[in-house]
């Protein structure tokens, strides 16, 4: 029950944060993006970014990861429709082909693939995951055991998108500006 209340509180908090750009948002559904699972991953990722130790204590039950010295709180990610379209298209491509890689299944490199949808400047990063049962399992699967290895949690990314396709196939992309 406590986990459900915390998740709901984080989801509500994520919807109240004002994004830096007019076309950025916090995951409010528009034109079918994001889905419930995609939005849940955004909310959980932001919960971990904004309070890594609280997230760890609530969802992981271990004190060995997300240590304060390695994971200070950072700002939440804002939803990007353009990145969501790129994420969803790649998830569907991986589900149909099947391939499981950062580059497109036809061999197009990751950056060219994302830039077809997202033309803003800035650095980009991506996580992919397959076979997880829930959004919580996906976010927990991306967490590093030691140190700030996963840029989703630690780097200065600002925009975020998640694409889901097929049974358990997920694609995650984010971008900083």
Query: C-alpha 159: how far from its chain's center?
Result: 9
- Let me know: does 40 contact 15? Beta carbons within 8 Å: no
Prediction pTM value: 0.77
Handedness of CA 157, 142, 33, 11 (dihedral sign): negative
Average pLDDT, the chain: 75
Q: What is the pLDDT of residue 15?
A: 32
List Cβ neighbours of 9 (8 Å cut-off, separation of 6 or more).
none
- 67-90, pLDDT tens digit by residue? 888 888 988 888 888 888 888 888
């Amino acid at each position: 029950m406590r986990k459900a209340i915390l998740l709901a509180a984080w989801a509500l908090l994520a919807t109240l944060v004002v994004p830096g750009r007019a076309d950025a948002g916090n995951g409010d559904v528009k034109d079918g993006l994001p889905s419930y699972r995609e939005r849940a991953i955004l909310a959980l990722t932001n919960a971990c970014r904004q309070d890594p130790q609280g997230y760890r204590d609530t969802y992981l039950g271990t004190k060995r990861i997300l240590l304060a010295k390695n994971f200070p709180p950072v700002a939440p990610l804002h939803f990007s429709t353009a990145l969501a379209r790129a994420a969803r298209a790649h998830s569907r491509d991986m589900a149909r082909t099947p391939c499981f890689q950062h580059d497109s299944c036809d061999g197009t490199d990751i950056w060219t693939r994302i830039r077809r949808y997202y033309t803003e400047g800035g650095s980009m990063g991506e996580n992919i995951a397959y076979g997880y049962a829930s959004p919580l399992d996906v976010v927990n699967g991306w967490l590093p055991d030691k140190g700030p290895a996963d840029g989703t949690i630690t780097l200065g990314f600002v925009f975020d998108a998640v694409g889901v396709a097929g049974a358990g196939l997920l694609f995650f992309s984010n971008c900083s500006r």
